[in-house]
């Protein structure tokens, strides 16, 4: 999966079950450049959830939007609680954005698509069209 240029609208951490959640606009496909020289995008609001998260460090400067430059994982190791969570590998994750870095350890992620992708000229869905902020895992119409 590829998260470059995806906008993060909101971040939440559920310390009860150690989940780190992102509300973002996921770009499924870049189209173009078209005749006008610009790209189009197939894009949808999604909820991205990382599981069994710890060593969370968020260092973001203030800006009008947090856009992902890259999302990478390194240094696989055995989770400290592997017997309890039934997972054998965790990684160190780094999310580089245009205004800072988010890093943490996690066993992996699940991404939930909340609406069918739509084609548009912008890499960001209008706040009203995306249904505001959400961490829902349900698909809406």
Per-residue pLDDT of 74-86, as tens digits, reads 999 998 888 888 8
Structure-token match 């800006």, residue found: 63
Residues 55-85 as b/e (b if ≥16 CB within 10 A, e otherwise) read ebeeeeeeeeebbbeebeeeeeeebeeeeee
Q: SS3 for 7?
A: strand
Measure the CA–CA gap between 141 and 137, rounded to whole angstroms. Answer: 13
CA triple 67-73-75, angle to 5 deg: 150
Helices marked H in 4-141 = 82-85, 127-130
Question: Which 3-state string (H, E, C) describes 76-116?
Answer: EECCCCHHHHCCCCEEEEEEEECCEEEEEEECEEEEEECCC
Q: Where do the structural domains in the chain lie, given as residue ranges?
A: 7-128
Whether residue 33 is predicted with pLDDT greater than 90 in this model: the reply is no
> Cα dist. 34→30, 124, 134 in Å?
11, 18, 32
Predicted model pTM:
0.91
For the segment 2-11, the average pLDDT, to the nearest whole number, is 94
Checking DSSP bridges between strand 40-51 and strand 19-31, what pairing results, if any?
antiparallel
- pLDDT, one tens digit per residue, over 114-123 is 999 999 999 9
């Amino acid at each position: 999966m590829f998260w470059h240029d995806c906008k993060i609208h909101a971040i939440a951490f559920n310390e009860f079950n150690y989940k780190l959640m992102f509300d973002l606009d996921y770009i499924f496909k870049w189209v173009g450049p078209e005749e006008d020289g610009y790209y189009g995008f197939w894009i949808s609001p999604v909820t991205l959830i990382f599981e069994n998260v710890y060593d969370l460090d968020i260092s973001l400067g203030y800006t009008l939007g947090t856009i992902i430059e890259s999302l990478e994982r390194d240094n696989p190791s055995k989770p400290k609680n592997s017997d309890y969570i039934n997972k054998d590998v965790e990684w160190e994750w780094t999310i580089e954005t245009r205004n800072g870095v988010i890093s943490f350890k996690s066993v992996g992620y699940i991404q939930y698509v909340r609406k069918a992708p739509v084609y548009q000229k912008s890499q960001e869905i209008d706040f009203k069209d995306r249904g505001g902020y959400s961490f829902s895992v349900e698909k809406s119409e």
